[in-house]
Amino acid sequence: MTRYGTTRDELAELLADEPRYRVDQVWDALWRRRVPLETATELPGALRARLAEALPLALTPLTEQTDADDLTRKWLWAAGDAQVETVLMRSPRRASVCVSSQAGCAMGCTFCATGQAGFERHLHADEIVEQVLRAQHASPQRVTNVVYMGMGEPLANYDEVWSSVELLHTELGISARRITISTVGVVPGMRRLAHEGLPVTLAVSLHAADDALRAALVPLNHRYPIAEVLDAAADVAGATGRRVTFEYAGIAGVNDQPMHAEALARLLSAWPGVGGAHVNLIPLNPTGGFPGRASPSRALHDFARRLRARGVTATVRRTRGASIDAACGQLRRRPLIPPEGSPSTTMDPCANTGS
Ligand code: SAH
Ligand code: SF4
């Protein structure tokens, strides 16, 4: 039993010898007020100590990095024998947490450091939710948004991911539309999403408008080609009423030329999804195992102009700095501040977000 993997009923059982209102108090502190147990001083010290022992945290921080303006903060956690990363990104109007859904990833996208490192294990719902709460504890602002864009493919770990979404929605009160699930195109998972009651936001990592090129970047495309992915995405948009975002990592000379933009514009301007398509252009974050380089900024701005000319909205994200809304999705080989005695290679799924 972990602190954020315990239901209210289980907590009540644990506190059976305490006055009834203690259960509400503890639950309120953990989930509604979102404070660390140690600072919930309305609870007697002995009770806090007892809870800390009975309900341990699932994540142990290994490293923590903060950018110069303290708007972006990243953690590398030990979750049992696995390591995962979380990023907090703040702006005046929102605070977003980018969570990992798996340690590693089995999808093998060639340009992605998580994919290059391979799959370790699925994360449990409590490990996902705890990432949000631990980031909240460090954030002066209330966390308003959660994006599943850290390590892993969320729809390949559907049940645990969906349980975590329900907890975020029901217990933390984060509205479903402020929860974004990013997928590389796991079509069966997308179909399931379309039948859920909560209208979460969907992001689809596209990266190419034709199957041959996409399959070279995203091996899963052999199983679920572009047409099927777009069809499933339209299904989700129809069910949720939410505009779908398409992620596109610009790789110099590979997928960022005018002909690629025109092909993507044709594909997405004809896409029937409710709310239309929005394209997020992100310069590739170079990784050790992939020879590609980032698209120059002017290529991406030209790409975006071509999309807009055909009625497809598009934004260009910066790779680094405190760009709050930057997409996540890359492991970095080395943490900025390696802890003493730690291995020299660790993971950073969200290197696009800053520092
Ligand atoms: N597995 C899911 C979510 C995690 S990856 C998915 O693929 O959508 C989150 C995002 O980071 C994806 O859009 C992914 O394509 C992107 N990404 C991965 N590696 C990247 C890199 N080297 N540079 C830029 N974006 C990258
Ligand atoms: Fe997995 Fe997403 Fe990386 Fe592909 S881009 S390997 S799906 S984490």
Predicted confidence (pLDDT) at residue 340 exceeds the cutoff of 90: no
Whether residue 286 is predicted with pLDDT greater than 50 in this model: the reply is yes
Looking at per-residue pLDDT, the higher value among 355 and 198 belongs to: 198
Q: Among all ligands shown, which has an atom nearest to the Cα of 205?
A: 1
Q: Where are the beta strands (DSSP E) in 168-312?
A: 179-183, 201-205, 244-250, 277-283
**Cβ(328) to ligand 1 under 6 A?**
yes
- pLDDT at residue 117 is higher than 60: yes
Distance CA 119, CA 100 (A): 13
Active-site choice (112, 328, 340, 350): 328
C-alpha dist (Å) from residue 327 to 15, 16, 134: 42, 45, 20
Give mean pLDDT, residues 213-227.
Answer: 98
List Cα–Cα distances, 118 to 108, 299, 331, 348, in angstroms. 7, 31, 11, 14
Measured distance CA(172)–CA(246) in Å, rounded: 27
How far apart CA 353 and CA 89 sit, in angstroms, is: 8
Per-residue pLDDT, 68 = 85
60 CA to middle of ligand 2, Å?
24
Tokens of 335: 């943490």
Q: What does the mean pLDDT of the chain come to?
A: 91
CA of 343 to the centre of ligand 2 (A): 23
Residues 6+ apart with CB under 8 A from 160: 101, 122, 123, 124, 125, 128
Q: Is 328 a catalytic residue?
A: yes
Q: Is 327 in the pocket of ligand 1 (CB under 6 A)?
A: yes
Q: Which ligand is nearest to the CA of 351?
A: 1
Q: For ligand 2, say whether the CB of 347 is within 6 Å of any of its atoms.
A: no
Q: How many CB atoms lie within 10 A of CB 313?
A: 15
Residue 329 pLDDT grade (very low, low, confident, very high; cuts 50, 70, 90): low
Order the strands of the 95-98 sheet from edge to edge: 60-66, 72-79, 82-90, 95-98, 145-148, 179-183, 201-205, 244-250, 277-283, 313-316
- The residues, any chain, with a CB within 8 Å of residue 44's CB and separated by 6 or more, are none
| Cα 202 to middle of ligand 2, angstroms | 15
Give tens-digit pLDDT for 301-324. 999 999 999 999 999 987 644 343
Q: Are 294 and 251 in contact (CB under 8 A)?
A: yes
Euclidean distance between CA atoms 100 and 118, whole angstroms: 14
Report residue 339's pLDDT band, with 50, 70 and 90 as the boundaries. Answer: very low
Catalytic status, residue 85? yes
Mean pLDDT of 93-110: 97
Distance 208 CA to ligand 2 centre (A): 15
Res. 342: pLDDT tops 70: no
Condensed to tens digits (0 to 9), the pLDDT of residues 68-85 reads 888 999 999 999 999 999
Q: Does any ligand 1 atom lie closer than 6 A to the CB of residue 181?
A: no
Considering the candidates 85, 127, 153, 247, report the single residue annotated as catalytic. Answer: 85
Going by the DSSP 8-state scheme, the letter that residue 71 receives in this structure is S
CA of 109 to the centre of ligand 2 (A): 5
Strand extents, DSSP E, 21-81 = 60-66, 72-79
Strand duo 82-90 + 95-98: pairing: antiparallel
Flag whether pLDDT at 203 surpasses 60: yes
| Predicted local confidence at residue 319, as pLDDT | 62
**Does the beta carbon of 120 sit less than 6 angstroms from any atom of ligand 2?**
no
